[in-house]
């Protein structure tokens, strides 16, 4: 028996760094959203204790550097089942090194699939505990949807769904070093911070324009020279009619929110002529227990 789970991409509508912790991690405050752009993750059980992974991107690692493999091993350790293993196959659509939690959402999909395959039904809270041992974004990706995330990203509070809209995502050809950005954040004072309270209040009102106006990512202020292209993409999205546009995570992908499909399609077409990794998609709801979710339209 095998199970295929949709692994939805993550976007940061806001991202703030509030301090460095004694354990070396940083305290974050983020408003997170899932979109329908997704990978497909197919998992089956093995009885020999081995965990194998293959991907539509053959250069991705197949050992524990692959978060899907790491997640499977963490899940079996939590069950105390050293004789169980997994075969994992991933069809990748989420670009790598984009700040969209591509590896983390695949890992979360592995956890959901294994919980169904084994019949253990550990529950969302326990899956998130296991997920945190895999990576900071993985607990959020277990269920996705709209959430306020604090701590390393594991302290999660549900938020109202993003009002109906269209999302254009564009990633330049380069990625940005996450450790380098955190070093830059540590080395200087953050002068401008997101209006997280105002953003969440706009979500409560169902005010898409209010959400878009308040989107902000502190990492955009400490980008290296390559960040100029990130700013250029943001400018093109805004010039094409986006209500708001920012970089997600530590980059390098940039996204814009659009209230009209026609406007979003034109923006997507214009950027897709310049950038290979360009997607038109929509917000995705929270993943319920036992659901594999819907497809993508990007």
- For residues 134 and 199, membership in a common domain is answered with no
| Domain of residue 220, residue span | 166-283
What is the distance between the alpha carbons of residues 131 and 125, in angstroms, rounded to a whole number? 10
Residue ending a domain, choose from 133, 159, 185: 159
What is the distance between the alpha carbons of residues 15 and 220, in angstroms, rounded to a whole number? 10
- For residues 155 and 16, membership in a common domain is answered with yes
**126-132 — which CB contacts under 8 Å span 24+ positions?**
126/78, 128/154, 128/156, 129/78, 130/71, 130/74, 130/75, 130/78, 131/71, 131/107
Structure confidence by residue, pLDDT tens digits, 194-253: 999 999 999 999 999 999 999 999 999 999 887 899 999 999 999 999 999 999 999 999
Note whether residue 180 is domain-resident.
Answer: yes
- For residues 151 and 207, membership in a common domain is answered with no
Give the pLDDT mean for 111-125: 96
Instruction: List the end-to-end C-alpha distance of the chain, in Å, as a whole number.
Output: 29
**Which residues are part of the catalytic machinery?**
10, 137
Note whether residue 292 is domain-resident.
Answer: no
Q: Is the pLDDT of residue 295 over 70?
A: no
Model-level pTM? 0.94
Note whether residue 290 is domain-resident.
Answer: no
Number of domains comprising the chain: 2
CA 196 to mean position of chain CA atoms:
18
- For residues 185 and 108, membership in a common domain is answered with no
- For residues 80 and 210, membership in a common domain is answered with no
> How many C-beta atoms lie closer than 10 Å to residue 58's C-beta?
7
- For residues 6 and 27, membership in a common domain is answered with yes
- For residues 230 and 199, membership in a common domain is answered with yes
């Amino acid at each position: 028996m095998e199970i295929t789970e949709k692994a939805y991409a993550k976007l940061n509508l806001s991202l703030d760094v509030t301090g460095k912790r004694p354990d070396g991690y940083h305290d974050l405050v983020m408003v997170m959203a899932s979109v329908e752009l997704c990978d497909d993750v197919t998992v089956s059980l093995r009885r020999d204790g081995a965990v194998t992974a293959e991907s539509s991107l053959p250069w991705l690692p197949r050992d524990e550097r692959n978060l899907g493999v790491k997640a499977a091993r963490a899940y079996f350790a939590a069950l105390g089942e050293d004789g169980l293993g997994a075969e994992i196959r991933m069809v990748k659509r989420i670009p790598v090194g984009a700040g969209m939690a591509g590896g983390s959402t695949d890992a979360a999909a592995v956890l959901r699939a294994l919980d169904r395959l084994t019949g253990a039904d550990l529950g969302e809270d326990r899956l998130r505990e296991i997920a945190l041992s895999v990576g900071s974004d993985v607990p959020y990706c277990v269920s996705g949807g709209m959430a306020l995330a604090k701590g390393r990203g594991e302290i999660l509070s549900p938020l109202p769904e993003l009002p109906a809209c269209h999302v254009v995502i564009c990633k330049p050809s380069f990625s940005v070093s996450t450790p380098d950005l955190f070093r830059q954040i540590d080395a200087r004072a953050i002068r401008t911070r997101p209006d997280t309270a105002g953003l969440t209040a706009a979500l409560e009102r169902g005010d898409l324009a209010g959400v878009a106006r308040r989107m902000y990512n502190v990492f955009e202020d400490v980008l290296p020279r390559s960040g100029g292209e990130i700013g250029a993409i943001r400018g093109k999205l805004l010039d094409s009619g986006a209500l708001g546009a920012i970089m997600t995570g530590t980059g390098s992908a940039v996204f814009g929110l659009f209230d009209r499909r026609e406007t979003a399609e034109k923006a997507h077409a214009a950027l897709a002529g310049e950038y290979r990794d360009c997607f038109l998609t929509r917000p995705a709801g929270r993943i319920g227990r036992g659901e594999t979710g819907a497809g993508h339209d990007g």
